[in-house]
Amino acid sequence: MLRKSSVLAAGLTMLLGACSAAGPSGDSSTAKDGAVKFTGFVGGPGILTQTQDAIKVFNKENPQYQMTFVQGQLNQAPYQQLLTMYASGNVPTIFVVDAGDVAKVADKVVDLSGEKWAQEEYPWARQQGAVDGKVLAAPQSATGIGLAFNRKLVEAAIGGAFDPTTIKTRSDLAALFAKIKAAGTAPVIVSPLPWLLAGQFLTKMYDAQGDDSARARFIAQLKAGTADLARDKVFNGLMDTFDLTLKYNLNAARPIAGTIDTDAKAFADGKAAFWFIGDYQWPQLQALGASPDGDGYGIMPVPVSDDPTDPWNQKVVATSSFMMAIDKTVNTPAQQDAAKAYLDWYVHSASGQDFMVNKTGGVPAYRNVTLQPSNPIGRMVAADLQKDRTYTPISGLPADHWNVLGDQMIKYMAGKIDRAGLAKAITAYWKTQK
Amino acid sequence: MRRSWNNIGGFLVFAGPSTFAFLSITIVSFLAGLILTFTNWNGLSDDLSFVGLSNYAVAIADGQFWQSLGLTALYVVVVVVLANALAFALAYGLSGRIRFRGALRAGFFTPNLIGGVILGFIWYFIFSQGVVAVGAALGIDALATPWLASPTLAFWALVIATVWQVAGFLVVIYLAGLTTLPRDVLEAASIDGAGGWAWMRSVVLPLMRPTFTICVFLTIGRSFMTYDMNLTLTNGGPYGSTELVAMHVYQKAFVSQQFGTGQAEALVLFLIVAVISVLQVSVSRRREVDL
Amino acid sequence: MTVQMQSRRQAAEVPAAGRPRRRRSSGLSRSGGMFLVLVAYAAPVLLVVSNSLKSDQEILDDPLGLPASPTLHNYTEAARTMYYLGAFWNTLVLTVTSVVVLCFFGSMTAYFLTRVRWRFNQVVFYLMIAAMLLPFQVLMIPMIKLLGSTGMLQQSWSIVYIYFATGVPLAVFMYAGFIRSIPREMDEAAMLDGCNRLQTFFRVVLPLLRPVTLTIAILDALWIWNDFLMPFLVLRRPEQRTLTLATLAFVQSHTTDYGPMMAALVLTVLPILVAYLFMQRHIVEGLTKGAVK
């Protein structure tokens, strides 16, 4: 019985999988003038035209290649789109994927360990793109996540220069918020967005457990149902900070009414001094009138305790925005080489770096790139990276973690559940994970 | 015997191409999808093995699935009633003798031109910015509350947007139905007052029953399948309270990456909708004026 | 019951007396009323047009007001990024071809399935109706796999075939409803005159189907004109892009370029509105012909 079903399974696998091996015919991968044609599903939110322009530059500087831009449906995660792309057999030569999804495409992409840029990556970035020690993906750029701030508003409230490193504990932050509020400005914005709250804020309860092995131990306990969140120091510390930000939230009267657009506008308009967000949001802030000149904006860590020596209070999250990987299942070796040339161009050429840093405001994830990001939040992240004042978030969370627990975080914001209820929901969620 | 050969020849000529295309794409995909519900395929990998009925067991035990199905049932009832009433009223107002008929019809047709995903963004914009601005300007607190932040109001926002969209689609069909009525019937009904209303109830509506049957059938199917609007307007929020069943199925398959379970839930959904639709059509056919 | 009977009689008497005098005035006041309804109904569309003339910042500041200083900047921006003319042409060719195929084969199929009493016909008919109730999510991935494995996704023509296969049930369903209302005697008379079944269909039945054909054509054209998924999967190169694909380029996960998006939307919708206005005369004509029968 078992055997029969496995034969069937093998047959079905062939029906589903083998067919895609047919791939594009050899003719279509070279243009008339002999240039290698390949496709790129690259770029990201807010940088569509910049990406298209950059590809034009790449093609002009590298006449032996001809790269075509593939437009995604950018309101979906790249991995979801990859599912349909792989199903259809129309797979771009080079594509973006979230750091957490690199492992899922591991058997379909090219090993890039030998590439020159792989030696220039920051170690954490290299680790995010690696599976079993092999580098499979290249970060598009680094991105910092934390409490973004409007320097002018903070300094007006404290009556002097603001040094974010002086905020070492939650109490420091509370005192600062109180001063800002007294000065007549809303201290902070908390946006009710699942991907932000569970994908980037709540994750600190895993991160701040310690090093990789401590994190893994904690996750294992959650899965086994033996972790006691009600007594967990990190979880409670993080939630205390969350309560603090909710208390001083610009939208405290209507905590879950904000949207990414209204909150971005409020922050750009100077309605609040802090916003929990990442520097990836800068293109929109600038479009809404925030000035990129000077050090008008910055970013600082979310404190999780009242211990001034706690390292988790001193570091912002640094992670890669998207990772770029090269398909080997339907794209020819010549196309794969062309895509490698694109990555090389992106990291090592003047115009590639210009695109990475100047045009899109990205923070370089490569040590050889010395350009300063065109936006103030990014410059601060870049400086923190160089001073090793960042940490890398946990990887390999379940695919729907942000979605399911994000809803619970918003319920908490709306007052529908209390901290015990949230802890219960988190525990219940993890128990269903294998 | 001879007759059936005749039938086969005629079938091939008249219905052959359609049936072939339909079977080769829709039915084959359906069967492949059915097989996938018995596997643990993750949507991407080349490996899969058979897991028996476990996907169905997970689907049936998925409380969220049944909850979203319950919400969808409420949503379908409301949308079917409101959309058909609105569409019939609009079509009726646009038929018979009326000045500027062409311009008016084109006007009512316009909203229909905007497709699913984009339409959701527009309604999102309206409910997150527009309604709030109106509320603030008029000082009406109920409106100044962002609708999408409240489970109840977000549900109604979804209903309004869907009714608006589906009605635009149904008007076209009701108009076609109304114009097949004898001219006298319509003109008599267009007289204002009680006489017109009674005429409408006793003559026009019964004659329109076949059209109602079609439209209700289409509305049930469409509203059970609502996905684009759900995704772009409320995205299931706030906190999952407006996640309709089609979206839940999609999320299960693609966001939670439990492809087999999502597919199994979709099949359960299909069976439920099919049963409801068959009931609806057979009941209303029995009541139709026999032609 | 008696009330109903009474009112029916009463109503039946009214037209004879009241028709000629009432018609004009009620026609005018009714169109006035309908215009008011229209303004409310089309408000979202008007909002799009008004906002397409504003800057992104003004859109978020004052979404409802009229543009303070109307600008066509969004339109030039949209047209530039969309490759408007090319995308327009692609969408037009795709839509027209698919709609013609769907109406042609759909009407023939419906005619045969409803006119010939044969068990197999019933099976096919109900299979098609059942398929209309399938959530597309069930079909999507297997369908894409299937199309990918047969190489159809590499061919741009195959998108027409897919629209045909997935759209034919609705067309058959709607044609069937209409054909049932055409008396069988008409076919039989034509057959007696020596027409075979094909000739009967094309000479006698098809002309009568004009109103429903136009309705189906409109519905299918709308669907295909606005469809996202299939063009997204099949038409990958920028020079093959359709208008919907191009419009969605402005919608992104963390931010939306509202201004250019709304301008793109107006540019996408405009051609089909013009087509509808143009076709309307024929629709009205077709409908009156159908009504005479």
The predicted pLDDT at position C6 comes to 35
The predicted pLDDT at position A366 comes to 94
The predicted pLDDT at position B209 comes to 84
B63–A contact, CB cutoff 8 A: no
pLDDT digits (tens, 9 = 90+) for C152-201: 777 778 889 999 999 999 899 888 888 887 888 888 888 888 888 888 88
In a domain, A177, yes or no: yes
Return the CATH number at A56. Answer: 3.40.190.10
For residues A76 and A157, the model is more confident at: A157
The predicted pLDDT at position C28 comes to 67
Which of C149, C233, C253 is facing A20, going by the closest CB pair? C149
Least trusted range by pLDDT, from A52-56, B10-14, C281-285: C281-285
Which of C60, C148, C153 is facing A261, going by the closest CB pair? C60
In a domain, A1, yes or no: no
Structure-block tokens of residue A413: 């914001």
Say if residue C124's pLDDT is above 50.
Answer: yes
pLDDT digits (tens, 9 = 90+) for A177-221: 999 999 999 999 999 999 999 999 999 999 999 998 999 999 999
The CA distance from A180 to A175, in Å, is 9
In a shared domain, residues A221 and A301 = yes
In a shared domain, residues A293 and A191 = yes
pLDDT-derived band at B51 (thresholds 50, 70, 90) equals: confident
Which of C60, C140, C253 is facing A74, going by the closest CB pair? C253
Q: Do C148 and A87 touch (CB under 8 A)?
A: yes
The mean pLDDT of A381-409, rounded to a whole number, is: 90
In a shared domain, residues A188 and A231 = yes
In a shared domain, residues A250 and A187 = yes
Smallest CA-to-CA distance from C31 within A273, B62, A19, B100 is with B100
Say if residue A19's pLDDT is above 70.
Answer: no
The mean pLDDT of C243-272, rounded to a whole number, is: 75
The CA distance from A237 to A217, in Å, is 19
The ranges assigned to domains in chain C are 85-292
Q: Which CATH superfamily is domain B55-287 in?
A: MetI-like (1.10.3720.10)
* Domain containing residue A244: 144-318+396-431
Angstroms from C30 CA to nearest CA on chain B: 7
The CA distance from B31 to A23, in Å, is 25
The per-residue b/e assignment along B109-122, b for 16 or more CB within 10 angstroms, e otherwise, is bbbbbbbbbbbbbb
* Averaged pLDDT score across all residues of chain A: 88
Task: For B52, name the nearest residue in chain A, comparing CA atoms only.
Answer: A5
The CA distance from B238 to C268, in Å, is 31
Smallest CA-to-CA distance from A347 within A139, A100, A42, A206 is with A139
pLDDT digits (tens, 9 = 90+) for A161-173: 999 999 999 999 9
8 A C-beta contact, residue A8 and residue B50: yes
Say if residue A86's pLDDT is above 90.
Answer: no
Residue numbers of B between 86 and 125 with CB closer than 8 Å to A: none
8 A C-beta contact, residue C269 and residue B107: no
Say if residue C18's pLDDT is above 50.
Answer: no
pLDDT digits (tens, 9 = 90+) for B130-161: 777 777 777 776 667 778 888 899 999 999 99
The mean pLDDT of A51-59, rounded to a whole number, is: 91
A9 neighbourhood in chain B, CB within 8 Å: 39, 48-50
The ranges assigned to domains in chain B are 55-287
- The helix/strand/coil state of C77 is helix
Smallest CA-to-CA distance from C51 within B107, B137, B130, A46 is with B130
The predicted pLDDT at position B14 comes to 87
Range picked from A6-15, A82-91, A218-227, A277-286 for highest mean pLDDT: A218-227
Q: Do A86 and B39 touch (CB under 8 A)?
A: no
Angstroms from B43 CA to nearest CA on chain A: 6
In a shared domain, residues A313 and A326 = no
The CA distance from C235 to A29, in Å, is 16
DSSP symbol at B43: S
Which pTM does this prediction carry? 0.82
Least trusted range by pLDDT, from A6-20, A48-62, A114-128, C37-51: A6-20
8 A C-beta contact, residue B10 and residue C197: yes
In a domain, A372, yes or no: no
Q: What percent of chain A has pLDDT over 70?
A: 91
Q: What percent of chain C has pLDDT over 90?
A: 11
8 A C-beta contact, residue A42 and residue A346: no
The predicted pLDDT at position B187 comes to 65
Angstroms from A419 CA to nearest CA on chain B: 16
The CA distance from B201 to B209, in Å, is 11
The predicted pLDDT at position B186 comes to 65
The mean pLDDT of C246-255, rounded to a whole number, is: 64
Say if residue A273's pLDDT is above 60.
Answer: yes
Q: Which conformational region is residue A130 in: left (phi greater than 0), alpha (psi within -120 to 50 degrees), or beta?
A: beta
In a shared domain, residues A157 and A125 = no
Residues sharing a CB contact under 8 Å with residue B171, sequence separation 6 or more, in sequence order:
B87, B90, B91, B94, B108, B109, B112
In a shared domain, residues A196 and A120 = no
The CA distance from A254 to A277, in Å, is 19
Task: For B137, name the nearest residue in chain C, comparing CA atoms only.
Answer: C64
Interface test with B, best of C35, C141, C173 (most B CBs within 10 A): C141
The mean pLDDT of B94-103, rounded to a whole number, is: 75
pLDDT-derived band at A87 (thresholds 50, 70, 90) equals: confident
The CA distance from B145 to B167, in Å, is 27
Task: For A410, name the nearest residue in chain B, comparing CA atoms only.
Answer: B239
Q: Do C252 and A45 touch (CB under 8 A)?
A: yes
- Please report the ipTM that was assigned to this predicted complex: 0.79
Q: Which CATH superfamily is domain C85-292 in?
A: MetI-like (1.10.3720.10)
What total number of domains does chain A contain? 2
